[in-house]
Structure 1
Amino acid sequence: MKMARSAHAYVRGSTARFYEWLDANERSVLPQGPAVWICGDCHIGNLGPVANAEGEVAIQIRDFDQTVIGNPAHDLVRLGLSLAMAVRSSDLPGVTTALMMEQLMVGYRRAFQPRAARPPRPEAVHIALKQASRRTWRHLAEERVQGKTVHFPMGARFWPVTKAEKSAIGQLLEQEDLQRIATSLSRRSDDAPVELLDVAYWKKGCSSLGKLRFAAMLDVGGRAVLGRDLCLVDIKEAARAAAPRYQSAEMPHEYAQRVVEGARHLSPHLGERMVAGRLWDRSVFVRELLPEDMKLELNHITADEARQVARYLAHVVGVAHARQMSAADKRAWAGELSKNLGKSLEAPSWLWNSVVDLVGVHERAYLDHCRRYALESSRRIQQIKQQPA
């Protein structure tokens, strides 16, 4: 039902369909870029303000379930598709999508140019960063917990756990490297005692369906009050990535270690706050939630904003890719990106053709998804309303 809200929401929740398209259309249609860690699910919602342990905030990639060592062109096409669907959801004309693809390439290529200036910050991004910088632990607590208590409110979002589950999670969080997450912030003492206050099963979005997902609340220092001594931790099961990797690339065999390693390469702010572990027979990664961490939401953007956002976000992704490349790889990749430009479009034909094809595929799939899920749900609601009191 969440995916049925809009075509853009459907794109965010249907990563596997993107890679099904890639397999069906042969990966040879895209250039083969240097072997680097890629996001694997590079849509707008997976970028946003992220804080490091010192409280510095930057726009970075913020989701790594699909991260692999693979082709950076996959991230570029996935981001282009997400931006194109956001434009369509804002009822903007098709020419906006074409101009946006040009700016996407401008921003991405700039990341590989020595001493090139960062693109101007769009208003939507500026507002998001400003909001993130102003957020406090009280804001985080109001979203995640119930008022000023130190317990998770059971209900639609949080579900109770068994004693055995709480015990296993407590043992997991007692590991030395996981204890270090709780004490890593600059205002916390490295030798501060850490106590598990509460734990709950966490009902989250589409990427968590069928996987373990827990939220844990830790007290760092023994004061148990809202503030920097309260630590909220996300424990999520890692699964096999749908994103294709370069076969010659060596990656961790453990799924959670792959996620953490990809995060450290692509998003240093977030990667330093993540640790891999095992819960029962499941591979899980653990990260601390900070008040400054936010999703980037783009609702009903204008044509000018669309172009600015495309340029800026593509540059963010380009920087994440470029920091992993040698100088020679950067030059070679930048040269490849400058090839196959159309006569009327300053973007590679492979990018434009891929995004246009994917928009059509996802539009059709979205409508079918609505027919199968949203329509049936709507009929059930109408039947309930028509029943006598």
Structure 2
Amino acid sequence: MTTPGTAADRARRGRTARRTVPRSAHAGWVPSVGRPDPVAVLERQGRDRLPELLPIRYGRMAGSPFAFLRGAAAVMAADLAAQPHTGLTVQLCGDAHLLNFGLYASPERTLLFDLNDFDETFPGPFEWDVKRLAVSVAVAARENGHPDTGAQRAALESVTAYRTAMRRLARLGELDVWYTRVDADRLLPLAGSAHDRRRVEATLGRARRRTSLRAFAKLTEVVDGRRRIVHDPPLLEPAGTADMAALRKIFSDYRSTLSEERRHLLDRYRFVDAARKVVGVGSVGLRCFLVLLAGRDTDDPLFLQIKEARQSVLEEHLPHGPYTHPGHRVVCGQRLLQAANDTFLGWMSGPQGRAFYWRQLRDMKGSADVAAMGPDELRSYARLCGTALARAHARSGDRVAIAGYLGGADTFDRAVADFALSYARQTVADHACLGAAVAAGVVTAAPGV
């Protein structure tokens, strides 16, 4: 995704892209005449999901405009595709909203802050991720009771942080960019008051305690003398006989996608139990399982999550990508975008040709409490997310060309912030459409699950 030529040539290419899409052209949002009905987009997505879980998905999305935004990546992808784009391609996260950034442990056990969801990753124009992040900031700010001026300012902070970080990264060498990471300690300066600092420190503490050993105590029990995953329907249910047999088979296939030394490590564990698990908002209805493994003994657990991978919501709007297997797409995207990757990240095909990927369930993972953030803290967090997004894009795209397009002025920043506030209002309207569909019985929602 990096164009040939000198740095000056690449920067010139970025500036030339302004002729096609001026930076100010990103401002505002007006729905196209033929804009698809958002509920129809969601229903189309649900056709090949587990039907008994779809009411949970709709119930979660109906909870608030921000919850709706989280589950409506397909709706926003169609809206972004209807606009002109720069043609400056990166490996997109595809769903870069505020809650898809968070904490996790590197293999060296350092706590990092980064993107943490890659179900929709796909090559595309860099500004699509930037806009989704900015919109999520604006929606969260309005939901937290901040005025529209404050919401727009917070969105602006995220974009400015992205631009300034990208311009800094454009001046670095390739290895310097590749090894750049955002340490979790960057969260502490976000806390202005003593109360906020205690809350951030608590978040970091919880993340460090979120390990397989802690999950073992919470998610398992002894039944007839054998360790089993707890039964907590409908969110966590024992895998049936057929599912268990299939999981044992694809566990072996998954092993082959790991590097040799990681296969050696995995071979030190044995398969104990598995259960079907409901996760997230937008992912509800996809096939997802929790697998319990045991190492040296039963007090040495490892939890792996196996999740169905489907076509990215971006794929129907962009040229064909390099991936033929959806699980491979997710894994490659995560390896490319994250500063450090899960040791057990892998992929394979399952029953009926369905694609899956594997990762650890809990490896010191944690997320910020965005709903509790006041204006100052939200702006600081938005800046951190913008910085992390630029770092991810710089690894996969032509950072010099993108920096050339963005420039030293805040023209792009202000335009995207204006778009974010306009689209935040659209999200409120779309959320109301879902509420009306639930009330009319068009879709069934199970709230509070």
Asked if Structure 1 and Structure 2 have the same fold, meaning a TM-score greater than 0.5 normalized by the shorter chain, the answer is yes
2:93 to 39, 46, 53: 39
Q: Distance in 2 between matches of 1:247 and 1:179?
A: 27
CA contact (8 A) 2:258 2:344 kept: no
2:63 equivalent in structure 1: 5
Gap regions ≥5 residues in structure 2: 1-58, 192-198
Moved more, 195-204 or 75-84: 195-204
2:157 to 96, 99, 103: 103
1:238 to 298, 309, 317: 309
Which structure's relative contact order is higher, taking Cα pairs within 8 Å and 6+ residues apart?
Answer: 2
Per-residue deviation, 1:309: 0.9
Change (3 A) 1:256 1:136: closer
Q: Distance in 2 between matches of 1:122 and 1:168?
A: 46
| Structure number with higher helix proportion | 2
Deviations, residues 229-270 of structure 1 (Å, cap 9, x unaligned): 311011111101112488566421111100000000111433
Change (3 A) 1:178 1:375: farther
Q: Distance in 1 between matches of 2:322 and 2:342?
A: 16
Per-residue deviation, 1:283: 0.8
Counterparts of 1:128-139 in structure 2 under 5 Å? 128-139=203-214
1:122 equivalent in structure 2: 190
Q: 1:164 is paired with a residue of what secondary structure?
A: helix
CA RMSD, Structure 1 to Structure 2 (Å) = 3.3
Task: Confirm whether residue 285 of structure 1 aligns to residue 357 of structure 2.
Answer: yes
Report how many residues are paired. 362
CA contact (8 A) 1:4 1:370 kept: yes
Per-residue deviation, 1:181: 8.8
2:286 equivalent in structure 1: 211
Moved more, 76-85 or 156-165: 156-165
Per-residue deviation, 1:154: 1.4
1:332 to 391, 401, 405: 401
CA contact (8 A) 1:50 1:270 kept: no
2:367 to 295, 302, 306: 295
CA contact (8 A) 1:90 1:299 kept: yes
Q: 1:5 is paired with a residue of what secondary structure?
A: coil
Identity across matched positions, percent? 22
Q: Distance in 2 between matches of 1:143 and 1:209?
A: 22
2:196 equivalent in structure 1: none
2:326 equivalent in structure 1: 255
Task: Confirm whether residue 16 of structure 1 aligns to residue 74 of structure 2.
Answer: yes
Per-residue deviation, 1:203: 2.2
Moved more, 153-162 or 204-213: 204-213
CA contact (8 A) 1:36 1:69 kept: yes
Q: 2:292 is paired with a residue of what secondary structure?
A: strand
2:242 equivalent in structure 1: 164
Change (3 A) 1:136 1:274: closer
Task: Confirm whether residue 67 of structure 1 aligns to residue 99 of structure 2.
Answer: no
Task: Confirm whether residue 273 of structure 1 aligns to residue 329 of structure 2.
Answer: no
CA contact (8 A) 1:214 1:235 kept: yes
Q: Distance in 2 between matches of 1:55 and 1:178?
A: 25
Task: Confirm whether residue 224 of structure 1 aligns to residue 301 of structure 2.
Answer: no
Per-residue deviation, 1:146: 4.4
* Structure 2 residue identity aligned to 1:32: G
CA contact (8 A) 1:70 1:244 kept: no
Q: 1:270 is paired with a residue of what secondary structure?
A: coil
Deviations, residues 185-227 of structure 1 (Å, cap 9, x unaligned): 9xxx738532111011112233333322111101123x111xx
Per-residue deviation, 1:163: 1.9
Gap regions ≥5 residues in structure 1: 382-389
2:140 equivalent in structure 1: 86
Per-residue deviation, 1:136: 4.3
Task: Confirm whether residue 310 of structure 1 aligns to residue 310 of structure 2.
Answer: no
Q: Distance in 1 between matches of 2:257 and 2:227?
A: 19
1:140 equivalent in structure 2: 215
2:43 equivalent in structure 1: none
Q: Distance in 1 between matches of 2:292 and 2:395?
A: 34
Change (3 A) 1:237 1:375: same
* Structure 2 residue identity aligned to 1:297: D
Per-residue deviation, 1:279: 1.0
* Structure 2 residue identity aligned to 1:73: E
Q: TM-score, normalised by structure 1?
A: 0.82
Per-residue deviation, 1:341: 4.3
1:368 to 433, 438, 443: 433
* Structure 2 residue identity aligned to 1:169: L
2:18 equivalent in structure 1: none
CA contact (8 A) 1:260 1:271 kept: no
Q: Distance in 2 between matches of 1:362 and 1:248?
A: 27
